[in-house]
Chains A and B, each alone.
Chain A
């Protein structure tokens, strides 16, 4: 479906309305013109009656008669020169001539159109009848177009239409300016980096009050969310630090326990506590900008992880094209390794095997991991990426982890501008697909640099 912006929609609506108005005005104009033409042209019997009356009027009374019948659209006068059309006049069509010939009997007459008056020099329609009376005098009936003209010689409606159009155009421009903050607002919502400094939208004093309110509300929302998130991160960080301190003391004290299985178990428990804490911290970090960014050959990382598992005898294999092997992405080496290893280990643990393939398209590198397990029910696919969610719900540590692996994968992938999805492998089993954007050499910052330069340092 075609998606039009609000401004485009209103622009189109106004344009259509203007077109309709113009067409309507033109129609009216022609209608009134036709009527005016009808009125301006005296009917044959009227002309005949006038001529008859003029003939019956004594010559010395005729000027008085002429004055009596003249009006703003019909000028009646006499001309001495017999039967002469004015030099610049052109004879009118024969049909018109014939309709008058019947009424005027055998009198000689000529009908001409004249370019009439009009200070602008615009030709409007006018008819001139010259009829030779029986006594030889020439009667001139001069009809004028009744169309009212302005001082500039333009029809009255034209100016109003022009001004209306200009106002509509101005309104369009103003409206476009009005809707621009909305576009900026939605861009800012998309770009919002809650972990970094909030990038507040500037308030334009000229915006509509509703839009100003909306922007202010958005800015407050952003600050609240950001404060909330920072507080949560600080709390997690604090807990993590303190638990680590306790764990360090405990670990050093455990060394005083005499060697034996109990000591080994205690050490194992301490390691588990710390790992759980690290994972929880890692999975809660939503693109927190705490990852480093370096140029990494993703293919090498995948290869290394696969080789590790193979060396340990795990059923893992990798299919990789030549361009994919050199795919460089901008990311955190450790985080990328964690993504790959979590997905491989999940596939092996719950799906008996991991079949990896690495491909590239012009934009991104695509890592696909298929397993041979029972697959993931479609309704649980999204939920599975949430922290502490597991398909197997016993929470038994022996049959699985804490349920943080995929949450970590998703957060790390998204923090590096990528995406992860799950579906069905062609051969049955589950398929996970990770998509990470390829690195592009750039000399100048892209649109993202509209944010303050050190908002993410």
Chain B
């Protein structure tokens, strides 16, 4: 462990849990900052420079998931989510929103400390090598950074930026049913009109282009109640 103790920012609305978690951290020699909601967290972030954030999902005002996404857009600060629900969907969403780890309530102090230490070690060991953003499916390879879709001969259909965003959304979440709302959310952010039917048109255009470039390639399935499913096997490639 490095000479100067790491500082932990705890964001939790229940005062008792906040105090108990802070006590555990202080006992182990960490520096502790606390906040009870998103606004207080922003103030604490400006004041101190924490090495790790422990973030509760259920918060008054802006919820933990939204805070997590906002933080992740700005920095690589490790985030440990505290979730009240044990369903995996919450975990997946939490991680997808940028959390580095999660802990389901109730948890013991030993478990909490182990997770915090593991996260800090990981960050110190390797300054977060960015994961590859190239994926392969069917006969195609898509590079999210270069914004390119090519088949094995090196050519590929010319996609508009909206079509590319849609495909990027699918390959990052393969074999999961995505509702129109979710797709809109991920491709354009929350400003989009939630009743927008253009997703349907985009999907149909994307289908045609994929089919034309690779006959028989038909990875997008429509499911009941207005959702879509990317059925192809997607592999991350270096």
Contacts and interface: CB of A to CB of B under 8 A. Distances in A.
A252 B109 contact: yes
A244 B176 contact: no
A210 interface: no
Contacts of A267: 108
Of residues B107, B182, B221, which shows the largest number of chain A Cβ atoms within 10 Å of its Cβ? B221
A449 interface: yes
A414 interface: no
Interface string A419-457: 000000000000000000001011111101101011111
B70 to A, nearest CB: 23
B222 interface: yes
A248 interface: yes
B4 interface: no
B61 to A, nearest CB: 16
A333 B91 CA distance: 13
A251 B107 CA distance: 7
A295 interface: yes
Contact of A449 (B107, B176, B226): B226
> Size band of the A side of the interface?
35 or more
Given A252-B20, A457-B181, A445 B110 contact: no
Contacts of B207: 443
Given A247-B106, A252-B24, A274-B106, A444 B177 contact: no
B84 interface: yes
Contact of B176 (A252, A292, A439): A292
B59 interface: no
Contacts of A442: 221-223
Interface string A17-41: 0000000000000000000000000
A249 interface: yes
A9 interface: no
A290 B93 CA distance: 13
Interface in A154-193: none
A292 B177 contact: yes
Interface in A240-284: 240-241, 244-245, 247-255, 267, 270, 274, 278
A94 interface: no
B180 interface: yes
Contacts of B229: 293-295, 330
B152 interface: no
A294 B175 contact: yes
B224 A441 contact: no
A290 B110 CA distance: 32
Interface of A: 240-241, 244-245, 247-255, 267, 270, 274, 278, 290-296, 330, 332-334, 439, 441-446, 448-449, 451, 453-457
6 contacts: A292-B92, A442-B223, A453-B226, A454-B194, A454-B226, A456-B225
